[in-house]
Amino acid sequence: MKKIMFHLIAVILSVVLCLGSSAFAEGNEQTISGNGSPVPKVIFDTDIAYLNDDAIAMFMLAQADHAGMLEFLGVTTSGGNVLVPEATTAALRQLELIGRADIPVYQGTDEPLQGFRDMKTEGRLYGIPNYCGAYWDFGTNDFRDLSVRSPDYLHLLEAPMHGYAETPAQEEAAWDFILRTVHEYPGEVTIMTVGAATNIALALQKDPTLADDAAGIIYMGGDIDCPGNATPAAEMNWYYDPEAIRQSLAANWKSQLIVPDDLAHQIHLTPAIYDRLEAANQNAITKLILENKRTFNAGDSDYVWDVVVPSVFLKPELMVRTEERYITVDSTPGINSGRAVSWHQHWLNNMETGEGFPEGFNKALIVFSIDEESFWDFYIELLSIE
Ligand SMILES: [Ca+2]
């Protein structure tokens, strides 16, 4: 165990040093040298379900917090895969199951800025999405009537998989928590949004200086150069609330990092990874994964979407190919709703100042590939520490 801890300290030091020189680190420099605290702070905005990619990403953040690599300030729940009452119960209960009920959970909204979609009409006009998260009822194999919903996170329409949590959600709304905390630690807090991002847009509407004071924002979302996984045009997170993403992408963040679906499709969680996890040190997290998720994915491979977000934040050297682009998302209702549109470097345009790029497009760093072998090494190492 001591050997693991020494190794971990070395990893932490290398991460801290690397953060200072990585392409994404501009916003973190103040964190590292500004107030004597070398530990970045993180808010995790999520459409979490049970042992899905959001849950594993949350476990990684909890482990990184435990190891002193970052400070995990809180979870905010959003729509996407599920609705907010379900996401809140899932976040609270899974934090309890891994012994981290001390990490606070704040409820956001699952209602997109443009309102819920009329999926029956949209399905007829534009096609039925391959995946549309909370809009789909896998029980009836049809669109769900979202006017029939759980009244709150303690009274779900369907009994939660691991029961209800004893820990309550926080009273403060997600966007107020985000605003308060980011302003409390200017330049130190990175927001990771791996769901619909409605909470982020609502916070920005209330106070646009959120973007100035945050260290940066990391998104999981968008199909940048490939067909969408929700519709042919759009990736699921950015399809769920395209207007929220459009507004957030246009804000004055110090840095924006996008982990797109293009990248997620290159990384495969295979049975061999579960074998490696089993061979590693066992703790509450690895046991939970092996007992519940391994059987779910038995003999099959799965994608890890959101898990890449904390991974590249903690270990920027995992990123192999990144590209700066000027990007927005089409939030116009229709067949292109949620489509990511991005401009490459262009001889007529200035990447630094944005001069020459159309209005509404904003700069982001997009990760197109990572070192998969090192990613899985880090995944197993971080999840299995004591
Ligand atoms: Ca997610």
Is 139 domain-assigned? no
Residue 325, pLDDT score: 97
239 C-alpha to center of ligand 1: Å?
12
- Residue span of the structural domain in which 333 resides: 2-115+152-384
Tell whether the model's pLDDT for residue 220 goes beyond 90: yes
pLDDT at 36: 53
CA of 344 to the centre of ligand 1 (A): 27
pLDDT value, residue 246: 98
Torsion of CA 150, 155, 158, 163, to 10 degrees: 140
**Mean confidence (pLDDT) of the chain:** 90
Q: In the predicted model, is pLDDT for residue 50 greater than 50?
A: yes
User: Is residue 130 domain-resident?
Assistant: no
> Both ends of the chain: CA-CA distance in Å?
8
Q: Among residues of the chain, what percentage have pLDDT more than 90?
A: 82
For residue 55, report the distance from its CA to the centre of ligand 1, in Å. 9
Residue 91 within any structural domain of the chain: yes
Total count of domains within the chain: 1
Q: With respect to residue 147, please indicate whether it lies within any of the assigned structural domains.
A: no
**CATH number for the domain including 63?**
3.90.245.10
- pTM for the structure as a whole: 0.90
The answer as to whether 89 is a domain residue is yes
Indicate whether 129 belongs to any domain: no
Q: Check residues 7 and 329 and name the one with the higher pLDDT.
A: 329
Q: How far is the CA of 35 from the centre of ligand 1 (A)?
A: 32
User: Which of the residue ranges 30-44, 55-69, 132-146 has the most confident prediction, judged by mean pLDDT?
Assistant: 55-69
**What per-residue confidence (pLDDT) applies to 301?**
73
**271, 345, 347, 328: which is closest to 302 by C-alpha?**
271
- pLDDT value at position 347? 80
- pLDDT digits over 132-167, tens only? 999 999 889 999 988 899 999 999 999 999 999 999
The rounded Å distance from CA 58 to ligand 1 centre is 10
Taking the centre of ligand 1 as the mean of its atom positions, its distance from the CA of residue 195, in whole angstroms, is 4
Residue 38 within any structural domain of the chain:
yes
Q: pLDDT-derived band of residue 294, with 50, 70 and 90 as boundaries?
A: confident
6 has pLDDT over 60: no
Q: What angle do CA 237, 84, 227 make, to 5 degrees?
A: 10
Report the pLDDT value the prediction gives residue 297, as an integer from 0 to 100: 60
* pLDDT at position 357 over 80: yes
Torsion of Cα atoms, 112 then 223 then 257 then 302, to 10°? 100
Report how far ligand 1's centroid is from the alpha carbon of 13 (Å): 29
Q: What pLDDT, on the 0 to 100 scale, is given for residue 49?
A: 96
Query: Could you tell me the distance, in angstroms and rounded to a whole number, from the CA of residue 348 to the centre of ligand 1?
Result: 37
pLDDT > 90? residue 18: no
Q: How far is CA 182 from each of CA 14, 22, 309, rounded to the nearest angstrom?
A: 26, 22, 19
Q: Is residue 327 one of the residues assigned to a domain?
A: yes
306-345 pLDDT tens trace? 999 999 999 999 999 999 999 999 999 999 999 999 998 8
Q: What is the mean pLDDT of residues 291-309?
A: 82
Ligand 1 centre to CA of 194 (Å) is 4
More confident residue, 245 or 22: 245
pLDDT of 348 higher than 90? no
Say how many Å lie between the CA of residue 173 and the centre of ligand 1. Answer: 19
